[in-house]
Structure formats: structure tokens, C-alpha cells
Structure 1
Amino acid sequence: MSWIEKKWNIFTPSENWGLVREISDASSVEFGSSDSTISIYSAVDKKVSQFPLRPVELATSQLKQKNYFIKAYSVLGFTDSTYLGLAVDSRARLLEFDSKGDSISSFGKNENFSSRNDLDLFNLAQINMGWFGANDKKTHFAIASIFTNRIEIFDRKNKSIKTIYVAPKEHTKFDLIPEANGYTVHWDLSSPYYFRDIVLTDTHVFALYGGFSEQQIQSNAVIAKTVYVYSLAGDFVAKFNLDTSITSIAVDQNLSKMYGISTDEDPGIVEFDLPKFLED
């Protein structure tokens, strides 16, 4: 592990935040419609925006979620004109939306991995929340669950979802509490969270694993120190134990490098060497 320093292009709202083509947050970032753009999804604004790879204040184009698309809380590009997302109030694990905001196809189902039988669709979406990623070619998408030790890999060609539990099935303990619009999930802060990020390359899935509770995180500033690696078909490849805690990962498989954001008092970018066998 080593520390690195880089110069970054920072995308921030202008003083007139709230105008068209502005965003307030970046929930996911991926390559855009061309090599010179990036696509940023804002879960707060419910917008998908295209930005050029140079410092700018406004997006060059922007799609506002509407109709049933507004239910999606994590979104990635699927085809040239459609999007794939995780949604609340849906039985489906993944939903495909067109630019008009209509759901045009669905894949898989949200799993009730708990022992409770009183969960509605919103509660099922809550316990199935996770980190959503895809490789650059968009051949495979994956979800790393926050509240259970599960990875799901979606094969776009076969329209199938491979489900993997990294150990005997576990989940964060929770209860249901009443609110104005119904019951919502309330998490046990002494119970562990599981995955913290996921990254896909053209050959592998890298999933950052925590296993620490909110109480442990607040006390020790340790979020995740383990990375599981799988093939795109879902076969186990490797498990890495890191020497420092990080919150997210990025992978350059050509350089055999993995990067993360440290969780100590002075957070920074850390670099890890990957085994050469992952280049194959």
C-alpha cells in the first residue's frame, strides 16, 4: 500500500446552484456517450447529466427522472437510449427505463432474506439497498448489498442474475417503526454492515467488504479492509486483506493497481498492488 498525490478536475455547483444543468451531488460516475464525457447520476436531484472532461460549471445535457423512473434511486446507462436502476416500491431487482420515464423491462426480484413476513415492497427495497456498478462495455452489472453479505451479477446478454453469498447468509438486524406513510426499516447500530463498494472490469468483479457495525465505525474509523474478487460468471477468484481501512475502490487492471479513499484522520488516496494473475 502506498499514498499518492494527484491533481483533479473538481466539479462543483456554481453560486447560482439550482439552475438547469446543475447537480447537487454525484451518486455514481461513469463514462458518458463519448470518450470525452462523463455521465453523473444525482440521486438527490433525480438527474442524469453529461459533463465534458474539463472543468466546467454546467452539464452539456441533462435528463430529469419522471413518471415511474422517479422511483429509481441508483441509475446507470444501459443502452444508448435506456437506463438500468434499482427502485423503491418494486418487486423487481433491476428495472430498465426509457428516456420518457417508463419502465420497459425488469430483471430478477428483491429477496426477503430476513425471517419477517410483514415487509411491504418499500421495506424490501430498503433491506436490499446496495452499491451498483457496471463494466465499461456494459456487458455485466453488479450489486453489492449493504445489509446482507451478498453480491449479485447481472449478465446483460443472458438477462440472468447470479447471486453469491460470501459466507453463510447473514444480514444487518432491523425492526420496523411506524411513520406517517407506513412502516420503515430501523437498523440495529450494533449489527454489522456488509459491502461498501463494487467495481467491475472487463474480466472481474471487485467488491469492498466491511463487516463492521455503525458503533465500531464511529469508535474506530474502520469501514472496510477486505476485497473479494469474482469472475464475471460469479466464480470466486481471490480475497484480499488490506492493511488500511478504505471507503471506496477503483481498479486499473492494466496497471495491476487498486485505489481507495482512506478513513483515518487525514483521508487520502491510497494505492494497492494487485497480483499479476488478475491481468489474465
Structure 2
Amino acid sequence: MKKVDFLNRKVATKNGRFRTRLKCNFSLVIICFIWATVFCSCSRNSGNTNKKSFTWDSISSLEKELFGKKYFIEELKMPSRLLYKNDKLLIIESAPRDSFVHVLDWNSLEYLFLTGAVGYGPGEMPKAWNLEGGTDPNTFWVHSLEGKLFSEYGLENVNDTKALTQVRQKEAFYLAMGITWASDSTFMTFLARGENKFVEFNIDGARLKGYGMWKGLVPGDFEDHVIADLHQGKLMGDPIAGKFIKASILRGHLEILDKKSGEIIEINGPENAIPEFQAINAGAVITSDHPLAYMDAFLGKDHVFGLYSGKTDSEIMAQGRGETNLFVFDLLGNIKTVFKLNTPIKSFTVDEERQRIFGITTDIDPGVVVFDFNL
């Protein structure tokens, strides 16, 4: 069995390949070359890759202890992910009844209201997977992996828990497992199958462009979907800055994409090793007790934060879940500090301006723990 069932199920499909037979006619060759260059750029790799790495020894002097304050919120039953936006703290409920997003005041953590109607009807979603800020300062978005829906909700209580807007995944866009806004009309994603690490779609589901290639990321001749499965994890973007991150759960590997230049910065560490795995049609099956890596990640204006585990399955069984190592990088991929948290958390979000971290605790009565930091 795989160490982490991140996607719950695999989507298996064959990638279509565009092939054209050219006759020995010079003018036809030129026309086809121009057509492919202008209209098929979406299938080619863009930019280059800059690789960086670090080890535990190289960052030992960067460690800083952070002591948090826990808040118990009675309305939270099984909180999973959270997001800070415009003085609101948004928290997804894993086992909701009628609605699945709690909205709290960022400072006092006072409970404000509940939104996000559960269901399969118009404006409803069957299950919430992840939170996104979007481009509108007054709204936020929720992705439903099960429902293949992306739904928008307001940051103010209007006594209506249904979505303001919904985007349904269809055609090639249906294969997108992680979704974040790339602009006010496009999405950046990663796919269950495909040769590119990042793929951009418009809101109508048309594929626009791919960034980075899976080939060569691990030694050996493996199918693209096997390598992609080995690097499953958290995707987050800043559509205004054109920056995106992908943090891998199964190995210490984090990537920063600059959409404008197409450059991808790969950061490997602190365990610079690839877990032993077996390639199957559905993906990669981990066959060794290898340390888990980034359980959550956050992209800020100036920094990238990665919640690192470093624990194997056997260690998790003995010590329990929850992570205390939070790596902080600049946008060039240089590690700046390692926050050692006194309270284990399973997910987090950051108010970078006020330098505050909000995390979901893993104890028997889960709540929100707040850490103040100084960078």
C-alpha cells in the first residue's frame, strides 16, 4: 500500500498525442512548422530549471523555536485545512453537516459564520478539499476533488451558504487534481497523467500551456504518470505575482514556478534521497519505510513555507501525527530559517504582513494554534 493516499483514487486515462504526416513538399513543411510553433506551444516545455539542495547539517544554525497559543473553537469538529485572507481565517471541516467552511476573525479568533452548502445541487458541493484565495479581495474559493468543482464564496456573511460562482471541471481539465488561480481567467494545475509538472487551463477547460517536464526527475526510464505520482502534494499560487509552488509529500522536493519566465526552481532536502518504489499502471507504490516530507505548504509575497514531517510510517505509529518543523525559503529557493514549533500541527496558513502562523492542532480536541514570528 502507498504511504499516503493523497488523491484517494487514481484517474487513469491515455494522453492523446498530436501526430502529423508531412509530404516531401517544402512549402507544406514550412506551413506546418509555423502552425505548430504558434498554436501548439501548450504541449512544449517552457523555461529552464534551477536546482538547489540542503541537508540537516547545513541548516542546524538556522533553527528558531516558536511557542504558540492554542484556541479551542467549539464549532470545530474535524478541521483539516485553513487559509488566511483579508483579516479572516477560513477553516474547512472534514465532517460537515450542512456547510463545510468556518469563518473566524483573524485576531481574536472569534467565530463569525459558517458557509459552503453541502450537497449536489446548484451552488452546493459534496466535499471540500482545499481553499484558495483567488483574485477578488472580497471572496475565496474552495476546490472539491470529489465533485470536480471550484466554488466561490464571500468573506462577509449574507445568510446564504451557497456558492456565488462555480466552475466545473470538464474534458482535459477533469484530470486536474490540484487547482489554483493563475490569473483572473485561468487556472494552474497538476494532472493525474501528462508530461508536464504544471499545466495551465482557461475557465472553459481548454489547455493553454505546460511548464516543466517529469522526465529525468528520478533515475530510470519511468512513465510520466509514475514520476508525477511520486511527487504528489500541495499546489498553491499567487496569480498577481505569477508565482506557484508544488510541495511533495513522499520526498523532500519543493518547486517554485515563475510563470512569466517559465523558470522552475527545484529545492531538494533535507533528506536528499528518493524512496524505493514500484511502478504500476496506476502510479508509484512506495516499498520502503521512507520519511514523509511536506505535509502542507504556503506561498507568501516574500517567502515559501513548508511543513516538513521527516517521520516514517513506523515513527508516526509510535509518535502520532503532527509536524513541528517549518522550513522557510525565499522566492529564489534559498532556505532562510527553520521554525521549531512547540505544538504539532497538520496544516497551516500565514499572515505574512503581521508575521503570524495559524495551524490546526492534532490533539484529541483539535483547535487553532497561533505562532508569532520575526523574519
Deviation, structure 1 residue 12: 4.6
* Kept in 1: contact 2:181–2:237 (CA 8 A): no
Deviation, structure 1 residue 67: 1.2
2:131 to 26, 29, 33: 29
Q: Structure 1 168/193 Cα, relative in aligned 2: closer, same or farther at 3 Å?
A: closer
Instruction: Render the CA deviation track for 1:17-63: whole Å, top value 9, x for unaligned.
Output: 21122112222212244222111111111111111123533111111
* TM-score, normalising length: structure 1: 0.88
* Kept in 1: contact 2:194–2:224 (CA 8 A): yes
Q: Distance in 2 between matches of 1:60 and 1:253?
A: 28
Q: Distance in 1 between matches of 2:128 and 2:353?
A: 26
Q: Which amino acid aligns with 1:151?
A: L
Structure 1: gaps of 5 or more residues: none
Residue 233 of structure 1 is matched in structure 2 by 332
Map 1:29-178 to 2 at 5 A.
29-53=131-155, 54=157, 56-110=160-214, 113-117=217-221, 119-135=222-238, 137-167=240-270, 169-177=272-280
Q: Distance in 1 between matches of 2:239 and 2:202?
A: 20
Number of residue pairs aligned between Structure 1 and Structure 2? 269
Q: Structure 1 183/254 Cα, relative in aligned 2: closer, same or farther at 3 Å?
A: closer
Residue 259 of structure 1 is matched in structure 2 by 358
Deviation, structure 1 residue 3: 1.0
Q: Structure 1 137/99 Cα, relative in aligned 2: closer, same or farther at 3 Å?
A: closer
Deviation, structure 1 residue 256: 1.9
Structure 2: gaps of 5 or more residues: 1-67, 73-108
Q: Distance in 2 between matches of 1:188 and 1:149?
A: 17
Q: Which amino acid aligns with 1:28?
A: N
Instruction: Render the CA deviation track for 1:148-197: whole Å, top value 9, x for unaligned.
Output: 101101112322111111235223332245xxxx3542234732211011
Deviation, structure 1 residue 92: 0.2
Q: Distance in 1 between matches of 2:144 and 2:250?
A: 22
* Kept in 2: contact 1:228–1:238 (CA 8 A): yes
- By relative contact order (CA 8 Å, sep 6+), the higher-ranking structure is 2
1:4 to 71, 78, 82: 71
Q: Distance in 1 between matches of 2:114 and 2:301?
A: 27
* Kept in 2: contact 1:88–1:121 (CA 8 A): no
Q: Which amino acid aligns with 2:342?
A: D
* 2:302 is the alignment partner of 1:209: no
* Runs (4+) off by over 6 Å: none
Q: What percentage of aligned pairs have identical amino acids? A: 25
* TM-score, normalising length: structure 2: 0.67
Q: Distance in 1 between matches of 2:234 and 2:164?
A: 27
